[in-house]
Structure 1
């Protein structure tokens, strides 16, 4: 066979049909992966476009086939295939952690939708409502009008700024971060939203960043998992707390909030990490 003007021996190579059967991939998939630079044929006939592969490429092809069965995007497959063993395992673990969170979040969304579709307030009883006393706190604060689609990025960036400010003040953090929703946040409404980071007062003086005193209060709250934090299913927890305050002889004070008492990024999908709370009188 002639390739780039030279005769090439194809003995010992596998035709695309044979390679497809042995690798559990279709010829169509092989052509796609060639375009992505993931599985490049050893030889391509310049006249007919026919392809041959080396037998040594089968291990990579079979790895690609198995990763595709996980519905893994090609970009992540490419990263795993081209990485060293330890890095490849880390990338696989990272992908599967993300997948488990997505599945858990979708499961919680189904529960949320069932509540909405059935209009069954009794199903809100799945949330255990507790009451606690919260002491007065000095908090670093940052507030912004933000839509729900932009909320996660702004929260991450704001908390990073507040943590940096807290590190340079006195003894630093004095409690879990909480996020106050002074108005509804969804596709049409933008809050505003206030992020608060409790810090220890410093006798040397007030913090350089914006701060305020969060008054002592009682609050009703329910504890939810990382998967339940996703929007819009988190709204069911808010509804459950609101329904409890409507039933009980209490008065709502101020705005509802989310209190993150655990490392959200490191938490497993079914791990409790957030309280939905409503100050009450």
Structure 2
């Protein structure tokens, strides 16, 4: 005898479904139901203390099927617990917006990789205009952190406000602020290309870096320092086609 089809005459189970019968109605496996119980997604209506058998009410079938449908969206079980709570429709909309954003990024990356793997890299680079500029020595305020690539955009955006505040404090001669460093940057010649806000996203920005590198090689220029992204526009106010950033390499 298994938990799926227990045989007992307990009056407390009258009107309840065994886990096997409930699984059949919900179109789920008993194993999945045990997992959902463990995670707090779908608790049985009753668990027999002596045998451990689980029993469910018929009106729990709808929730079970809803969990199964959300799983078909590849939604993590932890996220399903949130969606099944308050403001379920709004939370589902937020999850799906994240999925579409991720898929759009993957689609763009796939197109970029197809270009590279098919030998069309040179065509991809032709859309970038590369120039050089001589930059005088200057004082810069910096903030450093080791971060993963996918965390970088969030950190860069958050650092803008801190660096702007640090610049105001430095200008007012109040010295260094938390986690920032003031240093002198020597004069340099930069090879750069100017890109739009839309091109800042991966992998478009990778193509911009590679385009500058390829141009440098063709011009016989050597890299004289770490590459950089130089933002010169109001990011929040800029539209997708507005120029916002220089992808640059110090050269000699």
Fold agreement, TM-score > 0.5 = yes
Would the alpha carbon gap of residues 25 and 271 (structure 1) be closer, same or farther in structure 2, given more than 3 Å must change?
farther
The within-5 A match list for 1:146-165 is 146=146, 150=148, 160=158, 163-164=161-162
CA distance in 1, matches of 2:36, 2:143: 47
Structure holding more helix per residue: 2
The within-5 A match list for 1:142-221 is 142-143=143-144, 146=146, 150=148, 160=158, 163-164=161-162, 166-167=164-165, 170=168, 202=171, 204-205=172-173, 207-209=175-177, 210-212=181-183, 219-221=192-194
Would the alpha carbon gap of residues 259 and 227 (structure 1) be closer, same or farther in structure 2, given more than 3 Å must change?
closer
Would the alpha carbon gap of residues 241 and 100 (structure 1) be closer, same or farther in structure 2, given more than 3 Å must change?
farther
Match of 1:92 in 2: 92
> How high is the TM-score relative to the length of structure 2?
0.66
Structure 1 counterpart SS, 2:35 = helix
Match of 2:141 in 1: 140
Would the alpha carbon gap of residues 245 and 120 (structure 1) be closer, same or farther in structure 2, given more than 3 Å must change?
same
CA distance in 2, matches of 1:220, 1:273: 10
Would the alpha carbon gap of residues 63 and 129 (structure 1) be closer, same or farther in structure 2, given more than 3 Å must change?
farther
Match of 1:277 in 2: 247
Match of 2:117 in 1: 117
Shift of 1:47: 5.7
CA contact (8 A) 1:258 1:277 kept: yes
> How many corresponding residue pairs?
233
The within-5 A match list for 1:47-126 is 49-81=52-84, 83-85=85-87, 88-125=88-125
Shift of 1:213: 6.3
> How high is the TM-score relative to the length of structure 1?
0.61
CA contact (8 A) 1:220 1:279 kept: no
Would the alpha carbon gap of residues 25 and 227 (structure 1) be closer, same or farther in structure 2, given more than 3 Å must change?
farther
RMSD: 4.4
CA distance in 1, matches of 2:199, 2:43: 41
**Residue 237 (structure 1) aligned with residue 237 (structure 2):** no
Match of 2:6 in 1: none
Larger radius of gyration: 2
Shift of 1:141: 0.9
Would the alpha carbon gap of residues 39 and 76 (structure 1) be closer, same or farther in structure 2, given more than 3 Å must change?
same
Structure holding more strand per residue: 1
